[in-house]
Structure 1
Amino acid sequence: MTPRWDVLADGVYARRYPDWDLTIGLVVGDGACLVIDTRADAEQGAELANAVREVTPHPWTVALTHDHFDHAFGVSAFLPCEVWAHENCHRELAARDKPDLALPDRLLTDRAELDIGGRRVGLAHFGPAHSDNDVVVHVPDASVVFAGDLVEFSPPGSFTAESFGTDTTLSGWPAAIDGVLALGAEIILPGHGPTVDRDFLLAQKEILDRLITLDSALRAGEVDAAAAIAASPVAEDVTRAALRLG
């Protein structure tokens, strides 16, 4: 896969990278732009910054969808600028104890609204899910949402074991998907992979609901690990990660 900018709507772009099939967002307004996620390190961030300059010369603001390295470790290449993220994202990045890691300086708890060159762009946190600091970026005039890893693309529309980390709150994830759906966007960008639609999110929510039911039954002693794995809608390694079976 050769990275390129795909036009999603007027002034709204996505760029996919072969590393982890990462998807980056860009929103261009009148005299300003917003970069959504920054890749995995300063070198990759610099590549992205140069790629943004292929599209627009406007000064940028950065928004981070969450603290995981592949999304948030390239910030230094964009400084000085405003960097928006959830307050827990700042906490998690500061705890990495990496002196060269740039931290966000504009923090939200639930919601924030940005003016990107006359375009209204909303940032929203719908509670702990994939991480405890997931933020979605909504561009209402284009009916586009950059959902970060709240939406996990892995053919045929399932999850990977890496979707469920020690910082994942399985029980909160369906409600976060409901939050994304409530925005009413027609185009939804996962943190990895191509655009998806509302039906894709509904299918992911159904998988999560089934995993939550299995997790509850497992914790209550109603099923054992083998039975939970057998009844799971996803592969064994994904089930083990989601249900924290080791």
Structure 2
Amino acid sequence: MTVLHEIASGVHVLRHPVLDVNATLVVGGEAALVVDTLSTPGQAQDLLAAVRRVTHLPLVVVNTHHHFDHTFGNMVLAAEGAPIWGHEEAAALIGPAQRDRAVLEHPDLAADLACLTPVPPTRLVRTTAELDLGDRVVGLRHYGRGHSVGDLVTLVPDADVVIAGDLVEESGPPQFDDAYPLEWPDTLAALLLDLNPQTQVVPGHGAVVGPRFVTAQHEQLAALAWLIRDGDQDGAPAERVAAKSPFPQDMSMCAVKRGYVQLNMP
């Protein structure tokens, strides 16, 4: 049985075993917010059943970014009448092309992915928005580009919880396939300004963490960004720069190549 675990008053986290991805439920007085909807309709149905064991309030959805493992359950929650919020850049990237890429990259999920209809957010955020759940207001913030072009963070101030999506990764290193490695450190630095010493941070994947973990990941990302800048200035091959990275070399290679492209854009 898919189970939500309460980490603060009215804030529950589901850590799904497939890809170790998190979905979060925030319960208000008049509505409940679901942040991210997992990878497939079947996973989303299990998530919805877990949510309904906690609350029968009307639902609202937020997508932290466009990647399939956070958004491909949208169709299940949308069928419940839930409006879906997301960053405007993320919404533009959710569609059939993204589904076809996920089918190729995740053959173990291909049968469940191939026949689904991606549902993008229709309530769009550029920089900031507020959602009133009834006696509980949550904030949506785009601090900048990082893991993706449209990362959206959910703040639950009265519970001192921040839902960071893949801007923060706990169970594995940061992923750079669609990332902006030169901007990610500044985005995390801006997020850190809104954290208290006891803030609980829900990462996109893995266990709930605190500001010290986020600070350490920020320092690693900043170190990588400077390696990329120095490597570009010195004309160093990407392999040499990636070998010095605090992250695994194969992932760092992607970051270095993306950084080099960004530094040399006309």
User: For residues 242 and 195 of structure 2, what CA distance do their matches in structure 1 show?
Assistant: 34
User: For residues 190 and 230 of structure 2, what CA distance do their matches in structure 1 show?
Assistant: 26
Instruction: Single out whichever of 11-20 and 220-229 deviates more from structure 2.
Output: 220-229
Please list, as runs of the form range in 1=range in 2, the aligned pairs for 1:145-164 lying within 5 A after superposition. 145-154=162-171, 159-160=173-174, 163-164=175-176
User: Mind listing any 5+ residue stretches in structure 1 that lack a counterpart?
Assistant: none
Q: Over the residues paired in the alignment, what is the CA RMSD in angstroms?
A: 1.8
Q: Say whether the 8 Å CA contact 1:3–1:18 is kept in structure 2.
A: no
Cα-to-partner distance string for 1:50-105 (whole Å, 9 max, x where unaligned): 11001101110000000000000111111222110000111101463768221211
| Matched residue type, 2:192 | L
User: For residues 241 and 217 of structure 2, what CA distance do their matches in structure 1 show?
Assistant: 18
Q: Name the residue aligned to 2:29.
A: 30
Q: Name the residue aligned to 1:238.
A: 251
Q: Name the residue aligned to 2:91.
A: 90
Q: Name the residue aligned to 2:262.
A: none
User: For residues 55 and 12 of structure 1, what CA distance do their matches in structure 2 show?
Assistant: 10
- Percent of paired sites with the same residue: 37
Q: Say whether the 8 Å CA contact 1:28–1:117 is kept in structure 2.
A: no
Please list, as runs of the form range in 1=range in 2, the aligned pairs for 1:1-246 lying within 5 A after superposition. 3-79=2-78, 80-94=81-95, 96=97, 100-154=117-171, 159-160=173-174, 163-165=175-177, 167-185=178-196, 186-244=199-257
User: For residues 97 and 237 of structure 1, what CA distance do their matches in structure 2 show?
Assistant: 22
| Matched residue type, 1:89 | A
User: For residues 17 and 219 of structure 1, what CA distance do their matches in structure 2 show?
Assistant: 39
User: For residues 143 and 215 of structure 1, what CA distance do their matches in structure 2 show?
Assistant: 35
| Matched residue type, 2:254 | A
Displacement, 1:234?
2.0
User: For residues 216 and 95 of structure 1, what CA distance do their matches in structure 2 show?
Assistant: 35
Displacement, 1:238?
2.3
How many residue pairs get aligned? The number is 238
User: For residues 98 and 212 of structure 2, what CA distance do their matches in structure 1 show?
Assistant: 40
Three-state SS of the structure 2 residue aligned to 1:20 is helix
Q: 1:97 to 1:174 in 2, by over 3 A?
A: closer
Q: 1:223 to 1:84 in 2, by over 3 A?
A: same
User: For residues 105 and 136 of structure 1, what CA distance do their matches in structure 2 show?
Assistant: 17
Displacement, 1:45?
1.3
User: Mind listing any 5+ residue stretches in structure 2 that lack a counterpart?
Assistant: 100-115, 259-266
Please report the TM-score for the alignment, with normalisation by the length of structure 1: 0.91
Report the structure, 1 or 2, having the larger helix content. 2
Please report the TM-score for the alignment, with normalisation by the length of structure 2: 0.84
| Matched residue type, 2:7 | L
User: For residues 171 and 226 of structure 1, what CA distance do their matches in structure 2 show?
Assistant: 17
User: For residues 235 and 143 of structure 2, what CA distance do their matches in structure 1 show?
Assistant: 31
Cα-to-partner distance string for 1:1-41 (whole Å, 9 max, x where unaligned): x7421111110111101111111100001131000000112
